[in-house]
Amino acid sequence: MSETKRSFKRVVLKLSGEALREVGSQDNISPEIVERIALEIKEAHAAGVEIAIVVGGGNFWRGASASARGMDRATADYVGMMATVMNALAVQSAIEVEGVPCVVQSAIEMKNVAEPFIRRKANRHLSEGTIVIFAAGTGSPFFSTDTTAALRASEMGACAILKATMVDGVYNADPKLDPNATRYETISFKRCLSDELAVMDSTAFSLCQDNNIPIIIFDLNEHGNITNAIKGADIGTLVSNEA
């Protein structure tokens, strides 16, 4: 484990929907992957960090892709929001199996399966040690789950957004295409913008920059990295105003 250099009281963990699917599997959600994620979150939770989670829905549906094939964009995005709820419920169940209190708050009301998103209630849950999973995006079309993570982090006063991805940080070029690509340990929001580095979509990125919320990009595939990131280990790439 890397030496711990950061200290977080409250974080928002951003998981992609694709992260819940095993490569090559026909199943949209892998119980084994979800269980591993839950175990890592449990370990970090035991260290006293207040944890909120935003999960994408790309393992089921992508609104932008459906729109490109002729579907009304707003409708396509609402379908995508429903996909995030399915993923949120799966992650909630796995976390609760590990004995950790967890609630799902949905930006679209569906009282039989999730609480409605209420900022003050979510803040109280987190303060009391309950993990909160924010589902159904922002509740409005045309916004990504990256934007949801940035918005909820701003509303909850989170110390950082921890974005679990398929690469181990931010590079100056695509590491899959360029073997000489260099990974940044730290980089500023301004540099990401000037170099047009794909960290988050522009709306999410601007929210983080304006509200001074650092983003840590790290590799989800490395076992233990979720725990390490939440507990403050010096992994991945730190994107901030100060870098």
Note the pLDDT tens digit of each residue in 112-150. Answer: 999 999 999 999 999 999 999 999 999 999 999 999 999
Domain count, the chain: 1
| Binding-site residues | 14-17, 57-58, 62, 77, 138-145, 165, 171, 174
Question: pTM, whole model, 2 decimals?
Answer: 0.93
Whether residue 229 is contained in a domain is answered as yes
Task: State the average pLDDT over residues 46-57.
Answer: 96
**What is the C-alpha separation between 132 and 91, in angstroms, rounded?**
11
Residue 2 lies in a domain: no
- Which is more confident, 210 or 196? 210
Q: What is the pLDDT of residue 2?
A: 44
What residue numbers bound the domain in which 165 lies? Answer: 10-240
Annotated binding site for ATP: 14-17, 58, 62, 165, 171, 174
pLDDT tops 50 at residue 25? yes
- Enumerate the known binding-site residues for UMP: 57, 77, 138-145
User: Letter for the amino acid at 16?
Assistant: S
State the CATH number of the domain containing residue 153: 3.40.1160.10
pLDDT band at 14 (very low <50, low <70, confident <90, very high): very high
Residue 81 inside a domain? The answer is: yes
**Res 1: pLDDT:** 41
Residue with tokens 């909120």: 52
Rounded CA-CA distance 189/240 in Å is: 6
- The answer to whether residue 4 is domain-embedded is no
1 is a domain residue = no
3 found inside a domain: no
